[in-house]
Structure 1
Amino acid sequence: MPKKLTYFNINGLGEPIRYILHYTKQEFEDNRIELGNWPDLKLKEKLPFGQLPVYEEDGRVLCQSLAIAKYVARGTDLIPSDPWKYAQVESAVYSVLDYWKNVTPVVQEKDQAKQKELVEKLHTETIEYYFSRFNNLLKENGGYFSGKLSWGEFILLGIIEAGNLFLGTNVEKKYPAIDALVKEIRSLPGVKEYIVARGPYDFEEIKARMNKQ
């Protein structure tokens, strides 16, 4: 049975998994759900915890983006063999998700005045706090979380791109080590071709489709 990844037609938590699958040359079905059609109650009932992304292989279903990313990266050099380096990558990834927890309330906020306040706090406090530390971590480890490219850097890129899409920024430009990593991953074989074929995401168009529902 072919591999299948189901996620929204946007970057977010599913895009790092797509990047890893393309980089490691794994064939899979890229099943995309339009945000305007969510929640799909029939689909939610079939999901382990009612959330996306989900990954299917040989009749089995796996949920949670980090578990999926690590699974599809198994057997490649994206998984550190050294236990300490493995833990370093996981530690960095959990910190990346800590940052993301500050972004999602901004995206979900319906009150424009309150959303503006949250965006201001992100730009003046949260982004600098986390990204200065991510940048230092990369500089201290040869441009990566643990000395070489791993699945964790794909997670960072996905979160950066999702935040940029939602906030209308290019947050990595202020942080040289992060900016260099973003450019490197986007230029990797498989990833580069996928990005060209996919084209850019348009958040305004996505919001317009959602508002029609």
Structure 2
Amino acid sequence: MDKLKLTYFDFSGGRAEPARLALHIGGIPFEDNRFAPGDFPEIRRTTPLKQVPTLHINDVQVTQSDAITRYAGKLAGLYPEDDLQALFCDEVMGALEDINTKLVATFGMTGDMLKNAREELATETLPRYLRWLQNQLEGHGGEFCADHRLTVADLKAFVVLRWLGSGKLDHIPADLVETVTPKLAAFVDRIAGIPAIARYYETHGSK
């Protein structure tokens, strides 16, 4: 069996969390290499694109979070085999990465610049994406984002939506998801209740 080492910040959430969850759910052994934010300047020097997450597969280092998540999903049986369902899965993951990118673009801003940027996201951009995601969920049966079963698209949606509702993002209302898309809020609760995911957070907490 290949030796896997997944490297990312030591907190629950972020771009490595869907892959962590997939490997955990699938019972795939891996080294969960977590580091403190203060160690990032040193860690980034060891990565191909000066960013994380990265995945070592034996001696090969791979970058790009969605590629890593997709690979973990395939190992764990959480990625569709049907080409069309795989497309639906990828479509949702891409939209969620758009959300990540738009939020990360505001990191480092302060004062009114941060307030104005986040308020614009909260009133225009994020609701547009959230409504689209809710429509995708409903269009694919109402329970999962693709393939009528749990996939990495659901895991990534769970991680991103939980982050939006965490209250940790200044000027992003913690009830945004619930207010704009109540069915997505119910989806987050449902995914959190999956026994393997509940056990994961019992062990790793929610930093």
Matches within 5 A, 1:22-37: 22-37=24-39
**Structure 1 172/135 Cα, relative in aligned 2: closer, same or farther at 3 Å?**
same
Q: Which residue of 1 aligns with 2:164?
A: 163
What is the alpha-carbon distance in structure 1 between the residues aligned to residue 58 and residue 162 of structure 2?
31
Bigger relative contact order, structure 1 or 2, given CA contacts below 8 A and separation 6+? 1
Report the TM-score when normalising by structure 1.
Answer: 0.84
- Further displaced range: 22-31 or 167-176: 167-176
Q: Does 1:198 align with 2:197?
A: no
Q: Which residue of 2 aligns with 1:45?
A: 45
Cα deviation code 1:125-176 (max 9, x no counterpart):
1121110111111011112222322111111122223334441624432323
Counterpart for residue 181 of structure 1: 187
Match of 2:20 among 15, 18, 23: 18
SS in 2 for 1:23: helix
Q: 3-state DSSP class of the match of 1:106?
A: coil
In structure 2, what residue type is equivalent to 1:192? A
Residues 53-85 of structure 1, C-alpha deviations (whole Å, 9 max, x = no match): 011222222211111111111144421121111
Q: Which residue of 2 aligns with 1:95?
A: 95
> Aligned equivalents of 2:67 and 2:85: distance in 1?
18
1:172-193 superposed Cα distances (whole Å, 9 cap, x missing partner): 3232321232122222233211
TM-score (norm 2): 0.86
Q: Is residue 23–residue 188 contact of structure 1 (8 Å, CA) maintained in 2? A: no
Deviates more, 1:164-173 or 1:65-74: 164-173
Partners of 2:26 and 2:75 within 8 A in 1: no
Q: 1:29 to 1:171 in 2, by over 3 A?
A: farther
Q: Post-superposition shift, 1:25?
A: 1.4
Does 1:70 pair with 2:76? no
- Provide structure 1 residue ranges, at least 5 long, that are not aligned to the other structure: 202-213
**If each structure's helix is expressed as a fraction of its own residues, which one has the higher value?**
1
Shift of 1:90: 0.8
The corresponding residue for 1:125 is 124
- What letter corresponds to residue 181 of structure 1 in structure 2? F
Give 3-state SS (helix, strand or coil) of 1:46's partner: coil
2: CA distance, partners of 1:75 / 1:27: 11
Cα distance in 2, alignment partners of residues 170 and 6 from structure 1: 31
Q: How many residues align?
A: 198
User: Structure 2, unaligned stretches of length 5 or more?
Assistant: none
Q: Which runs of 4+ in 1 moved over 6 A?
A: none
Conservation of the 8 A alpha-carbon contact between 2:162 and 2:188: no
> Structure 2 counterpart of 1:187, which letter?
G
- Following the alignment from structure 2 to structure 1, what is the Cα–Cα distance between the partners of residues 192 and 72? 18
